[in-house]
Structure 1
Amino acid sequence: EQDQGITIDTARCFFKTAARDYIIIDAPGHIEFLKNMISGAARAEAALLMIDAKEGVRENSRRHGWILGMLGIRQVVVCVNKMDLVGYSQEAFAAIEKEYREFLAGIGAVSPKAFVPIAALTGENLTERSQAMGWYRGETVLEMLDSFAKQPSKVELPLRLPVQAIYKFTEHGDDRRVIAGRIETGRVKVGDEVVFSPSNKSATIRSIEGFNAAPRASIEAGWSTGFTLSEEIYVTRGEVMSHKAHAPMVGTRFRANLIWLGRTPMTQGRDYKLKLHTTAIPVRIRKLNKVLDASRLDGELAKDHVGRHDVADVVLETAKPIAFDLSAENDGTGRFVIVDGYDVAGGGIIVEAVTDDQDTLRSEARMRDFSWIPGGVTAAERAQRHGHRAALVMFLGKPQVGKHRYARALEKALFADGKHPYLLDGTNVLLGVDHDLSAEATQDELVRRFGEVAYLILNSGAIVVSTTNAIGMADYGAVQALVGGTPSIAVEVDPSGRSTAPCDLRIKGTEPESEVIAKVVALLQQRQVFSG
């Protein structure tokens, strides 16, 4: 670094004042080391942004303004350094302040608390007011630091524990099923009722577990720990544990500020991998609002992709619903990275939830699940009796393509194997709970009622095999939203072979029943529906 005359990697140093202790993260500013700058700034509560008085506002200064805004850092002081090289000129300082404030206001990023003229080499305005710059009447850098507000303790924020793993013990009479993860924020105690999102499954904390640790009744943010629950509910890595009153958002779309560092541009219509807390899921750009280039004064670019070092305002869409928070409210569940192939190619923060086609149904299902009155038999006990968890298999396609034949064959095969299947034909739903609907009834209401009937049967622990002409591939997502975290499989029967709709299995309708049954059973095994 000394040979090159630039900062390459982040460094930390510690000091204290009469007010509090500090950690200073020295982050590089050069564009070639942008990843290091972001990794260094990501954990900061406030920022001192340096501008060279002799060089003025350059590309790096503008880019840093973008990044601080993107990272959600709102407490910022701009230090105009090397004032000795411009003769401690008030006019030079004022010109830089004016230009940079106008730039930041124009992009809607951070609004600096103050601009401070300094000369770090001689300590001017760092800890004591400068005699050479008597025209400056503001606070010193150290006084500015002491005036920054401390962020609220993570313990005082709502509970967030992203599930990292589930461990099942079987030896020496130990039958615990431990859900493990790191508590990002909040606290939890034995006896608390908690909910897991996005599946909406709830239970009560029975015990707090630790390796070779004494039993404890409560635990808080910062700890990696495990829990046993009052009943064995099936949750997976990537779900977020919280209290019901302060659950995270759930959806497939959100607006984000994103910076792209990959060598290959981020393009629309292509899948990437989103890593948010412990979730890893396919994601793509739903809408590219704008692309920003810090090397240009006007900032915004007319581009249909996000290039290297570009900052973008985008709407992202995930393949399935995920649990998240806005970064301003909880950065542990509001910041993400994007993987392209095997490389971390970008990252960003969530700034707004965006409704999708199933948002209303998903909200209704969440309210239903939160208020659900359970019976005396748990889902785990039903699974143990039946040898499998509840699951939904939907045969979809146009009329007269063989959906009903395959559905009946699958039901019979599962039943012969000792499982607990049930064939739910859409015609029976139409003749029953839909009997009161008029001919003008909306398709949405037909789908909603079908999904609620399916959910009731699924709650009994059955494998629901469904076929209907009233519901097509376009409605499958709505049914998924209503059945929550229950494993579901969509089988499309498409004789033409031209369909490109997303599904788990596509057949032409000419395949032997045994072949289709084997493929569906394999998909159920992949989703860990069967016990053992």
Structure 2
Amino acid sequence: MSKTATALQTQYSEAPVSNAHSSAPMKIVVVGHVDHGKSTLVGRILSETGALPEGKVEYLKEVCEKRGMPFEWAFVMDALQAERDQGITIDTAQIRFATPFRPYVIIDAPGHKEFLKNMITGAASAEAAVLVIDADEGVQEQSRRHGYLLHLLGLRQIAVAVNKMDLVNFGQARFEEVKAEITVYLNSIGVQPTHVIPVAARSGVNISGPAAETPWYKGPSVLAALDGFEAAKPATDLALRFPVQDVYKFDQRRIIAGRIESGRLKVGDTLVFAPTGKSARIASIETWGVNATVAVSAGAGQSIGVTLDEQIFIERGQVASLAERAPSVSHTLRARLFWLGRNGLKVGSRYKLKLATAEYAVEVIAIERVIDVEDLANHPGAEVGRNAVAEVVFRSRTPIAHDSFLDNPRLGRFVVVEDYDIVGGGVIAEAGGVHQAHKSTNITEVEHKVDFDTRALANGHRGGVVWLTGLSGAGKSTIAMEVERQLFLKGWQIMVLDGDNVRHGLCSDLGFSPEDRAENIRRVGEVAHLFAQAGMLVITAFISPYRSDRERVRTIHPDVFHEVHVATDLAECERRDPKGLYRKARAGEIAEFTGVTAPYEAPLSPEFTLDTSGKSIDECVADLLRYMEANFSLSAREQTQSWGF
């Protein structure tokens, strides 16, 4: 070791680091081709910074002497007995050390191809990386692929340590040759190495300071390069991301609960909920537990509940943010994925993607690149095998609220689930590679010059949505069509939206999965409320089996929404079976059939219950007509009012 390095070792060992340890440690991953000296480099760093327990090196030297093998600094990290026997690192190890500047967690990741999975696991949590290359052997194919894996995982701060310079007599020409080769490659994949450093890890050259052996090198030492890396922003400095865990109802309050993943919020802030785009102001912030309090603000890492100043429909999986820094919303995601499934991932395969508290049904629409762990080959592929890394594109029928991993890791990581098992995990690529559907800030709602009340005066009745829900065969469509006919004859502006009819056009692209049912109801709800805004009375006849879907429609315009439960029991509906659907469902010919193989959630407090038990169609129609006329007709006084133009 040079005198300069020895002096710097004393500095790193004796310098007070209490201030550094008050901050979060930076995570550094060390990668490279097998036998290029990764573990040796890490062991030497620990020695140079005084991070090793007293007597550790002497103990390892004694063990090596007993085994008749030369001492290697790599043994400091190769803690597993199997690793000492085989001479290779097979697992990631995390050890803490500190410079006077800040604390670190250094991750020594395996480079042998059989243990690539562990390397990826280690690198996934790192903020920066050191890529080790043997000066004598030069850039190997595995070196390039490890560099590419760092790129896949979103790391952009990468220092290259050209190790074993002693084997090339510390020749500047050889160093420049290796430096040029690795720089050209990293640049080709969009990575600019922060530093390329000539190193002899075994003897400590350029680990903690300039070395006499390389007078021609004017750049930083390894430790100085680490100190030059930028730490990740604290989670509180990132954009607000508050994924909704659940919504609880207490008395008249609806408390939206969840954990703040990043950013801060306070009472009075206007929250925008993605992907719906609905917004409301925070009325209160409440905490949980024995010492629960009402707070005025909260930040990343806190689990809280908030109440809003108006009742909008919020459900699990939505993400609250501030309007000026909202997440991206898109039906497609370009992702970097590590695949764990026993069955290969293929184009057209469907999975469940979990992102924060949300779950999305997704389909693989493209596999753009695959790295196979068996040969580390980088190639286009039609299938991603187990333990392979790939760049893929997912498509979801419902929009996904997300960030790129680089912008905000808290909303940039996901897992893939198949049959309740996690089969993959990954990160969302840069925003430029995603077909995004941001909510435009250039859209302004246009105010009508004919208001709701004026339309009611012109029509002689109020507009509204009468939402008939009930089992198949309950009589919804039959009753709705007759009510439409009779009110039309009275001069009312009325229209029926029927479930079967809508699926021939507006919703012809949807199936009958829970996700598709939800989207079907969402679309119909928006259309129905547009009709109501135009002054028409809209009757909808949909099974609409889920309460949450009907509640979502109600929140579009609660004042004009009337939920009517056409209450016919399952036995009677199955006895009628006007379309033969129950018979087919019982025979297994129809999957996901409500009441048989899929649930129906009856309304808890509908505006009107139309009990069809023992009644004829005419009697049911008369009951619904009485209800509608009572709630949507104008009084005599109202009808004499002048129009408000």
Q: Tell me how far 1:317 sits from its aligned partner.
A: 0.5
Q: How does 1:72-151 map to 2 (within 5 A)?
A: 72-106=154-188, 108-151=189-232
Residue number in structure 2 paired with 1:290: 369
How far off its partner does 1:124 sit?
Answer: 1.2
Q: Deviations over 1:472-517 (max 9, x none)?
A: xxxxxxxx9x97998xxxxxxxxxxxxxxxxxxxx9944479x99x
Provide the C-alpha distance between the structure 1 equivalents of 2:116 and 2:373, rounded to a whole number of angstroms.
Answer: 13
* 1:407 alignment partner, one of 467, 477, 486: 477
Question: Are the aligned partners of 2:114 and 2:374 in contact in 1 as well (CA < 8 Å)?
Answer: no
Match of 1:491 in 2: none
1:178 deviates by 2.9
The answer to whether the 8 Å contact 1:66/1:311 transfers is no
SS in 1 for 2:85: coil
Distance 1:411 1:178, change over 3 A: farther
Aligned residue type for 1:28:
P
2:147 to 58, 65, 82: 65
SS of alignment partner, residue 12 of structure 1: strand
In the TM superposition, residue 160 of structure 1 has moved relative to its aligned partner by 0.6
Residue in 1 that maps onto 2:338: 259
Aligned equivalent of 1:304: 382
Q: Say which of 205, 216, 223 aligns to 2:282.
A: 205
Q: TM-score, normalised by structure 2?
A: 0.57
Question: Using the alignment, how far apart are the partners of 1:14 and 1:363 within structure 2?
Answer: 44
Structure-1 separation of matches of 2:283 and 2:342: 49
Alignment-derived partner of residue 434 in structure 1 = none
Name the counterpart of 1:52.
Answer: 134
Alpha carbons 2:138, 2:178 under 8 Å: kept: yes
- Provide the secondary structure at the position in 2 that maps to 1:3: helix
Aligned to 1:196: 273
Q: Which moved more, 1:64-73 or 1:81-90?
A: 81-90
Contact 1:198-1:485 at 8 Å conserved across structures: no
Pairwise CA distance, 1:100: 2.1
User: Contact 1:457–1:464 at 8 Å: present in 2 too?
Assistant: no
Q: Secondary structure at the match of 2:138?
A: coil
Q: 2:410 aligns with which of 317, 322, 332?
A: 332
CA contact (8 A) 1:391 1:529 kept: no
CA distance in 1, matches of 2:446, 2:372: 45
Task: Indicate if the aligned counterparts of 1:62 and 1:294 stay in contact, CA closer than 8 A.
Answer: no
SS in 1 for 2:148: helix
How far has the Cα of 1:275 moved from its partner? 1.9
Q: Aligned pair in 2 of structure 1 residues 458, 165: CA closer, same or farther (>3 Å)? A: farther
Q: 1:270 to 1:113 in 2, by over 3 A?
A: same
In 2, the alpha carbon distance for the partners of 1:98 and 1:250 equals: 40
**Alignment pair present for 1:278 and 2:362:** no
Residues 511, 280 of structure 1: alpha-carbon distance in 2 compared, 3 angstrom cutoff:
closer
- Displacement of 1:264: 3.0
Q: 1:206 to 1:11 in 2, by over 3 A?
A: farther
Decide whether the 8 Å contact of 1:393 with 1:463 is kept in 2: no
Asked if the contact 1:181/1:226 (under 8 Å) is kept, the reply is: yes
Cα distance change, pair 300–239 in 1 and its aligned pair in 2 (3 A)? same
**1:39 paired residue number:** 121
Greater displacement, 82-91 / 260-269: 82-91
Aligned equivalents of 1:522, 1:422: Cα separation in 2: 31
* Partner Cα distance (1:96, 1:528) in 2: 71
Contact 2:470 2:476 in 1 (8 A): no
Counterpart in the other structure of 1:443: none
Residue 503 (structure 2) pairs with residue 424 (structure 1): no
Describe the shift of the 1:267–1:115 C-alpha distance in structure 2 as closer, same or farther (beyond 3 A).
same
Q: Report deviation, 1:300.
A: 4.7
Percentage of pairs with the same residue: 42
| C-alpha distance in 2 between matches for 1:140 and 1:18 | 15
CA distance in 2, matches of 1:266, 1:316: 11
Letter in 1 for 2:144: R
Q: Is the 8 Å Cα contact of residues 392 and 458 (structure 1) preserved in structure 2?
A: no
Q: Compute the RMSD of aligned alpha carbons.
A: 4.7
**1:146-179 C-alpha deviation (Å, 9 max, x unpaired):** 222233333222211112233445xxxx665432
| C-alpha distance 485-249 of structure 1, shift in aligned 2 (>3 A) | farther
- Among 519, 528, 552, the alignment partner of 1:454 is 528
Larger radius of gyration: 2
CA distance in 1, matches of 2:496, 2:157: 59
List per-residue Cα deviations over 1:312-367 (Å, max 9, x = no partner): 333210232221122222121122222344133342323236449xx5xx958996
State the Cα deviation string for residues 416-442 of structure 1 (Å, max 9, x = none). Answer: xxxxx983369x99xxxxxxxxxxxxx
Which position in structure 2 is the counterpart of 1:223? 302
- Does the 8 Å CA contact 1:288/1:304 hold for their aligned counterparts? yes
Whichever residue aligns with residue 334 of structure 2, its letter is: R
The structural deviation recorded for 1:261 is 4.1
Q: Is the 8 A contact 1:161 1:184 kept in 2?
A: yes
Structure 2 letter corresponding to 1:183: I
CA distance in 1, matches of 2:349, 2:578: 27
Task: State the alpha-carbon separation in 2 of the partners of residues 274 and 453 from structure 1.
Answer: 29
Task: Tell me, yes or no, if the aligned pair for 1:164 and 1:238 is still in contact at 8 Å.
Answer: yes
Residue 119 (structure 1) shift: 2.1
- How far apart, CA to CA, are the structure 2 residues paired with 1:49 and 1:256? 24
SS for the counterpart of 1:33 is: helix
Aligned match of 2:540: 465
Change (3 A) 1:464 1:18: farther
Distance 2:598 2:555 in 1: 14
| Structure 1 unaligned spans of 5+ | 376-388, 396-401, 414-420, 430-447, 468-479, 487-506
Confirm or deny that 1:178 pairs with 2:260: no
Q: Does 1:22 align with 2:97?
A: no
- Distance in 1 (CA, whole Å) between partners of 2:331 and 2:105 is 37
Extract unaligned runs of 5+ from structure 2.
1-79, 452-464, 484-493, 503-521, 543-549, 557-576, 607-645
**In structure 2, how many angstroms separate the alpha carbons of the residues matched to 1:94 and 1:21?**
31
Q: Residue 146 of structure 1 aligns to which amino acid in structure 2?
A: D
CA 292–35 in structure 1, closer or farther in 2 if over 3 Å, else same: closer
Q: Which amino acid aligns with 1:465?
A: T
In structure 2, the CA distance between the partners of 1:321 and 1:368, relative to structure 1 (3 Å rule), is: farther
Q: Quick one: distance in 2 between partners of 1:371 and 1:116?
A: 64
Residue 205 of structure 1: how far off its partner (Å):
1.6
Contact 2:116–2:373 (CA<8 Å) still a contact in 1? no
Matched letter for residue 275 of structure 2: P
What is the identity, as a one-letter code, of the residue corresponding to 1:185?
S
8 Å CA contact retained: 2:333, 2:428: no
Q: Decide which moves more: 267-276 or 18-27.
A: 18-27
SS, match of residue 37 in structure 1: helix
What is the correspondence of 1:235-246 to structure 2 with a 5 Å cutoff?
A: 235-246=314-325
- Corresponding residue for 1:489? none
Q: Matches of 1:239 and 1:156 in 2, distance apart? A: 21
> CA 1:3–1:530 in structure 2 vs 1: closer, same or farther (change >3 Å)?
farther
Structure 1 residues 365 and 51: CA distance shift in structure 2, 3 A = closer
How far 1:188 moved relative to its partner? 0.2
Rounded to whole Å, the distance in 2 between the matches of 1:466 and 1:346 is 41
Contact 2:372/2:385 (<8 A) preserved: no
The alpha carbon displacement at 1:141 in A equals 0.9
SS of the aligned residue for 1:191 comes to coil
Q: Which amino acid aligns with 1:70?
A: L
Specify the SS of the correspondent of 1:326. coil
Distance 1:296 1:36, change over 3 A: closer
Letter of the 1:29 counterpart: G
Provide the C-alpha distance between the structure 1 equivalents of 2:482 and 2:92, rounded to a whole number of angstroms: 63
Give the direction of change, closer, same or farther, for the CA distance of 1:339–1:167 in structure 2 (3 Å limit): same
